[in-house]
Structure 1
Amino acid sequence: MPKLKRRRLWLTLAVFLLLTAGLWAGNSSVLHGSGQRRPPLLAHRGISQTFPIDGLQNDTCTATRIHPPDHPYIENTIVSMRAAFDAGADMLEFDVQLTADGQLAVFHDSMLECRTDGTGRVADHTLAELRRLDLGHGYTADGGATFPLRGKAVGLMPTAPEVVAAFPGRELLIDLKNNDAADGSALADYLTTLPADRLATISVYGGDIPVEAVRSRLPGLRATSKAIMKDCLIDYLATGWTSHVPDSCHHTELHLPEAYGRYLWGWPNLFVDRMRDADTRVILVAGDGGWSEGFDQPDDVDAIPSGWSGWLWTNRVDVIAPLTDR
């Protein structure tokens, strides 16, 4: 090979290596990470009864496959939520759906048969009818031989306004369970009655349709949906290597599965810092994010990125808070 060609080849290689090194240095988390006490914790539905996710399908009744209970709490009840805050939660997530009489009931499933002694859709019952149900009726860890929570949660279904009133000033994340504009509009009707300082502590997520119904009424509210997160992450993948955070990523919330976050520029802690500067929260979900997996057991802590300064999603804040405090 002639000398001139060799020189050009070496020059090209040197430029490539310099660019690669600059790209790595500009997106490295080596010098980033939190010096805080521990990552902030999001308590998913309060303190919940957990269950194995192997073989889980969209129509699986999770109440019939719980782990043997080691606590008395049932998800989405105020007593469970209060226990979560007492255990160290920094934010609470809870589910909301519209009842037949236009109330914002706090309950996860669209159908009642799995968890309760009721039948049919939540949307076809009044709040008074739903209040009479036993929310722990269907929970079993041994295939139906015993029901250890039965009879212990009669009348405990709250409404969204009751949850907001129960925890003044605390960070709340409201999940609109039904992909229906009416649910979003009803929630927006309620949220517009709150003062600005309270609204600043409330976020909303769920289906694209109801979340858009809320955002159209309250454009300053922190809100997210699959479409919002998709737009943000696609834009960031295209430009994040420059450290630029696109407008689509500002003032929102990202629920990122631990398995996929590693593909983002600056992951983990530089990415979190960039999003924080854009007033966006990054919440780490365990696994691949398919089933709202949380960091729930001691072994799960090993999967948290070193120095993680974003939020952690957990169904068992009582277990995880003491471990992350270390």
Structure 2
Amino acid sequence: MPEARPRWRKKRYILGAVVVLLAAFAFANNTQLFAEVGGESPKLLAHRGVAQTFSTAGVENDTCTAERIDPPVHGFLENTIVGMRAAFDSGADLVELDVHITSDGQFAVFHDWEVDCRTDGSGTTRDITMAELKALDIGYGYTADGGRTFPFRGRGVGLMPSLDEVLSAFPHEPLLIHVKSEDAAEGAALAQRLSELDAARLANIAVYGGDAPVRAVRDRLPQVRTASKGSMADCLLRYEAIGWTGIVPDACANTELHIPESYAPWLWAWPSKFVSRMESAGSRVVLVAGSGGFSEGFDTQESLARIPDGFTGYVWTNRVAEVAPLIDR
């Protein structure tokens, strides 16, 4: 009569079988091997509309980027209504813009915390009225040759729009609003302004920025997609823990996910199933070039070749007019 196997050995075999089955399930549930590639193309997020570009090499938080622009190939300036319209006309699916609260409680559409770099004025945006900001020349400080010439000086007076003007100019187009401060009160004020919009308009607006103001927006307008470093980290850490099952954590619902290119391959079911899962939870996936530092974008034909097959989310670009014709629609 054959000798019975020890009980501990049976348990080991059972445990091994369970591990193999789970691994097989995780692989089958997340692999892209059997995913259909083709059809829908990536969509384009135009950073600050059509704008002057610059090298991000050596850029720090306090770098005046207007003083280091590339030789201009067009006449548009960032965060202007004409630049945003040019972006949509070029093929942008979504336009990003920056906002700051003003001393009279409005929201100015402008990138920098202070106006000294780009304009002929001085001071902090939140200490200046909207009317005073509109009187500034926002093209004053741009130079591509170290200050020998200033090609936009005198051409930017009155071009700094208010958020109200942008919302009026683009009543239906998708907008991504960047709150540049860390002030919860500013987020609450933005939420109050956005609450005046109807549900259809809010469905095409998202807000991202610092944890405190974004939390204030989300608390007051939970139907609006939002994103901050904290919310994205919470979503992705939870997803890494359970995403192999196909489950999307609640922390990932109705949010904006800006995924650095270098991190994306580590996500379960990247790219097509990941995007599909997030969209089913009401969220939007934006792929950012490189490590995601200082607004790195997919700005050349060579960089577009790095977008993985099957990715149907949004790609971040600083050169939408040049990049849009290269995307197969």
TM-score of the superposed pair, with normalisation by structure 2: 0.92
Distance change >3 Å, CA 18–CA 218, structure 1 → 2 = closer
Name 2:321's counterpart in structure 1. Answer: 318
Name 1:90's counterpart in structure 2. Answer: 93
Name 1:73's counterpart in structure 2. Answer: 76
How many Å separate the matches in 1 of 2:157 and 2:106?
19
Name 2:4's counterpart in structure 1. Answer: none
The number of residues matched between the two structures is 324
How many Å separate the matches in 1 of 2:17 and 2:188?
58
My pick for the range that moved more, 31-40 or 288-297, is 31-40
Per-residue CA shift, 1:101-158, capped at 9, x if unaligned?
Answer: 1111000100111111111111111111111111111111111111112111111010
Structure 2 contact 140–153 (Cα < 8 Å) conserved: yes
Name 1:205's counterpart in structure 2. Answer: 208
Name 1:274's counterpart in structure 2. Answer: 277
Name 1:149's counterpart in structure 2. Answer: 152
Structure 1 contact 106–160 (Cα < 8 Å) conserved: yes
Per-residue CA shift, 1:140-184, capped at 9, x if unaligned?
Answer: 111111111211111101011111111121111111111112211
Say whether 1:230 aligns with 2:229.
no
Match of 2:56 among 39, 53, 71: 53
Match of 1:242 among 242, 245, 255: 245
Say whether 1:39 aligns with 2:42.
yes
Kindly state the Cα deviation for residue 319 of structure 1 after the two structures are TM-superposed: 1.1
Kindly state the Cα deviation for residue 18 of structure 1 after the two structures are TM-superposed: 5.3
Per-residue CA shift, 1:243-275, capped at 9, x if unaligned?
Answer: 111111111110011111111111111111111
Name 2:258's counterpart in structure 1. Answer: 255
How many Å separate the matches in 1 of 2:22 and 2:122?
62
Match of 2:124 among 109, 118, 121: 121
The amino acid across from 1:86 in the alignment is: D
Distance change >3 Å, CA 222–CA 12, structure 1 → 2 = closer
CA-based RMSD: 2.2
How many Å separate the matches in 1 of 2:92 and 2:36?
21
Which residues of structure 1 form unaligned runs of 5+?
none
Distance change >3 Å, CA 7–CA 197, structure 1 → 2 = closer
Say whether 1:187 aligns with 2:226.
no
Aligned 1:135-146 pairs, distance under 5 A? 135-146=138-149
Which residues of structure 2 form unaligned runs of 5+?
1-7
Kindly state the Cα deviation for residue 89 of structure 1 after the two structures are TM-superposed: 0.7
Kindly state the Cα deviation for residue 33 of structure 1 after the two structures are TM-superposed: 5.5
How many Å separate the matches in 2 of 1:11 and 1:196?
54
How many Å separate the matches in 2 of 1:16 and 1:204?
42
Kindly state the Cα deviation for residue 202 of structure 1 after the two structures are TM-superposed: 1.0
Per-residue CA shift, 1:184-240, capped at 9, x if unaligned?
Answer: 122112111111111111111111111111122212221111111111001001000
Name 1:29's counterpart in structure 2. Answer: 32
Structure 1 contact 294–315 (Cα < 8 Å) conserved: yes
Structure 1 contact 33–270 (Cα < 8 Å) conserved: no
Aligned-pair identity in percent equals: 57
How many Å separate the matches in 2 of 1:221 and 1:141?
39
